[in-house]
Amino acid sequence: MDTRFRTTEKTCDPVKLEIIKGSLRAAQLEMETLLERTAVSPVIREKKDFFAGYFDPIGQLITGTNLPIFGHIIQPIFEHYPAADMREGDLYWYNDCYASKGGVSHMPDQVFASPVFFEGQLIGFSQTWAHFNDIGGAWPGSMSPTSTDIFQEGIMIPPVRLYREGVMNEEIYRIFLRNGRFPEEMRGDIRAMIAAVRLGEKRFIEIFQRFGLEVAQDAFDRLNEQTRNGLIRQLRKTFKPGTYRFADGIDSDGQGHGPFMIRMSLKVSEDRIEIDTSDTDDQATGPVNFLMNPAVPKMVFGIYAMAQDPTLLINEGAMHAVDEVKVREGSLLQPRFPAPLNQRGLTLIRTVNVCAGLMNVALQGQSVAATAAYSIYFLRGHDAETGQAFLIADGVGVGHGARPFADGHNGVYYVAQENNPAEFLEQMYPMRLRRYEMRADSGGPGQFRGGVGVTREVMWLGPEAILAIRIDGIKNPPWGVNGGQCGRPGRCTINAGRPDEREVSPLSDGARVRAGDLIRFQSCGGGGWGHPFDRESELVLADARGGYVSVEGALADYGVVLQVRDDEIVLDAQATANLRGGQRPETKLFHNGQYVDAMQ
């Protein structure tokens, strides 16, 4: 036992505070690494759809993730299991979106959490969260835009105690496995998540052994206070008093309804910041509803402010930089049970974009442009010989919004998540990856270009399969700001260029795919920032050489004249100067297919 830093002091000095901060980050990374390397399903092992974290004895976040999609993870457990009744070795589990009030926001996401004790006292919780590949329901993968209520989306687990003092409740475990199409995969993922939680317990206790109970607890309080005070100062400095409004919409719910508008207002006074989402459209029939915990927009604003100080931890303090978030029951952001939720990712990204829009209104265009909603496709069916269900779920990267100082990121799935590698796809499934490249001209033109989407083309070699896809931003593309233009929409086609070519509806389920069919996904780009004519012509040339912008796109979007000579793209500087020196296109604050002063 390392007790070198144990003292009789009850407060944490600045040196110990930084050591404890580093220890928390290291422990979190170790938990996530263990989960990634021991999980069975590709959605965890390859796509990395998971996170780990720590919470204090009353459920406040000590260290977590930069994915702003969660609410209060531990509070739903307390509603069924008081802290006084918890024991060492206990472990709790749930995926119930409505019971957790948006603690998780669609049911494939599983939460495992265990209380951690030191010297007989509850000192916090070790927690893991991950997306499971299949939890039953009407379709392999438990996700489809055809869903009309949450009961079609798989087995619902309210907060339950899976372990009591180290002994597993086998009945709960067997019921869950029985409801999935791939029980061995589920079993492996559960074991990986539990192993990561138990590792987290060990590392958490080591911090208390090393520094003592009082110093460690004081450190957590100080870290939360450090984040909260730092963000409040930054937000108060950034936003002047006033009321600001912004709206953006998703195209469809996959069932013929839409668009659905998300409307928010930001009210800033000298000592208070409030966000009101009450004017958002009513909930959808299809599964694009987002059961948004009020902590989500708080965390979005918190992460934005944290960009000014990367030393701050993402913890409970980030959820208190905004004082209040108002939601309306029955809206797209607060649907009534049992509204379907499985495609909530589309609405989540638009919600983040609306928060960014509010910042741009308040700051006159000095914030990030809109990001495209990450795309997904499923191929599923049954093996002709065995009758066994098969499922392929793959994410397709998109373009992120440009910033006032840099281009948007290219071809990112969602923050730190990944797509399935070519080698994995071809080894595990009857398919070949024929084409995978950046999609030229998809990023919104601007002084700083929106991130580009990708083209991903696969050839299907297996038995007849059903294709489900999720693409958004066709009718409501990711907007550009401060003169930047919107990102270009995506599409999905089967057998492009062949006589039997057909286009697949962007949010749909049911297209049939047969052996030899080519499926081409072209994902959306992010919005641009700043007037396209202000982008340096040399950067446009570099973009063209890198495949981010075409020669034709350089001329049409940026006023830059490029020529191809001896298979090399070169800049015609004089022609560019003449063209850009003519009439400069007029712009307005936002661009969503056309320039507008406001999006309300």
The domain ranges of the chain are: 14-229, 364-531, 534-584
Nearest to 15 by CA among 217, 189, 171, 211: 211
- As a three-state string, the secondary structure of 20-78 is HHHHHHHHHHHHHHHHHHHCCCHHHHCCCCEEEEEECCCCCEEECCCCCCCCCCCHHHH
> Cα(197)–Cα(128) distance, rounded to whole angstroms?
6
Secondary structure class of 410 (helix, strand, coil): coil
Cα–Cα distance measured from residue 97 to residue 107, given in angstroms and rounded to the nearest whole number: 6
pLDDT number for residue 5: 41
d(CA 193, CA 36): 9
- The confidence score (pLDDT) of residue 8 equals 47
Q: How far apart are CA 165 and CA 448, in angstroms?
A: 56
pLDDT at residue 67, rounded to an integer: 64
Which residues sit opposite 431 in a β-bridge? 460
DSSP letter assigned to residue 328: -
pLDDT at res. 68: 57
Q: How many CB atoms lie within 10 A of CB 187?
A: 15
Residue 491 token pair? 């599409």
Residue with tokens 């990634």: 36
Lookup result for tokens 């930089």: 321
Distance CA 203, CA 207 (A): 7
Residue indicated by tokens 């281009």: 407
Measured CA to CA, the distance from residue 51 to residue 61 in angstroms comes to 13
Please tell me the distance from the alpha carbon of residue 111 to that of residue 92, in angstroms, as a whole number: 8
Report phi then psi at 403, rounded to 5: -115, 165
What is the reported pLDDT for 524?
97
Q: What is the dihedral of CA 58, 61, 62, 67, to 10 degrees?
A: 170
541-547 long-range CB contacts below 8 Å, 24 or more apart? 541/569, 541/570, 541/571, 543/449, 544/569, 545/569, 546/438, 547/437, 547/438, 547/440
Strands 50-55 and 61-63: antiparallel
Q: String of b and e for 82-117 (b: at least 16 CB within 10 Å)?
A: eeeebeeebbbbbbbbbbbbbbbbbbbbbbbbbbbb
Q: Which helix H or strand E contains 590, and what residues bound it? A: strand 590-591
CA dist., res. 31 & res. 197, Å (int): 7
Distance CA 64, CA 464 (A): 42
Per DSSP, helices labelled H in 338-417 are: 344-363
Cβ neighbour number for residue 567 with a 10 Å cutoff: 5
Integer Cα distance of 160 and 298 in angstroms: 28
pLDDT value at residue 417? 76
Cα 536 to its chain centre, rounded Å, is 32
Return the pLDDT at 4: 42
Host H or E run for residue 198? helix 183-211
Tokens of 70: 């969660």
pLDDT value at position 170? Answer: 96
Residue 64's pLDDT is: 78
pLDDT for the residue 66: 61
- Dist. CA 247–CA 264, nearest whole Å: 6
Beta-carbon neighbour count of residue 122 at 10 Å?
A: 17
Burial class (CB in 10 A: 0-12, 13-18, 19+), 42: buried
Predicted confidence at residue 571, as pLDDT, reads: 96
C-alpha–C-alpha distance, residues 588 and 600, integer Å: 15
- Tell me how far CA of residue 419 lies from CA of 35, 393, 425, 490, in angstroms: 17, 10, 10, 17
Distance CA 549, CA 554 (A): 6
Rg over CA atoms, the chain: 25
pLDDT of residue 306: 86
Query: Is residue 562 within 8 Å of 455, Cβ to Cβ?
Result: no
For 524, phi then psi, to 5°, come to -75, 155
Tell me, what amino acid is at 99? A
pLDDT of residue 10: 66
pLDDT at 414: 78
Decide: 587 and 561 in contact? Cβ < 8 Å: no
The two tokens of residue 545 are: 């050489």
Q: Which of 448, 452, 447, 436 is nearest to 525 (CA)?
A: 452
pTM: 0.94
Separation of CA 590 from chain center: 24
Q: What is the mean pLDDT of each run of 10 residues along the chain (600 residues)?
A: 49 94 95 96 92 95 74 92 97 97 94 97 97 95 96 97 98 97 97 98 98 96 93 91 97 96 96 96 98 92 86 86 95 98 96 97 96 94 86 94 97 82 92 96 98 97 96 95 97 96 96 97 97 97 98 97 94 95 91 96
By CB atoms closer than 10 A (0-12, 13-18, 19+), residue 178 is exposed
Q: Is 4 exposed, middle or buried (0-12, 13-18, 19+ CB in 10 A)?
A: exposed
Tokens of 472: 């958004």
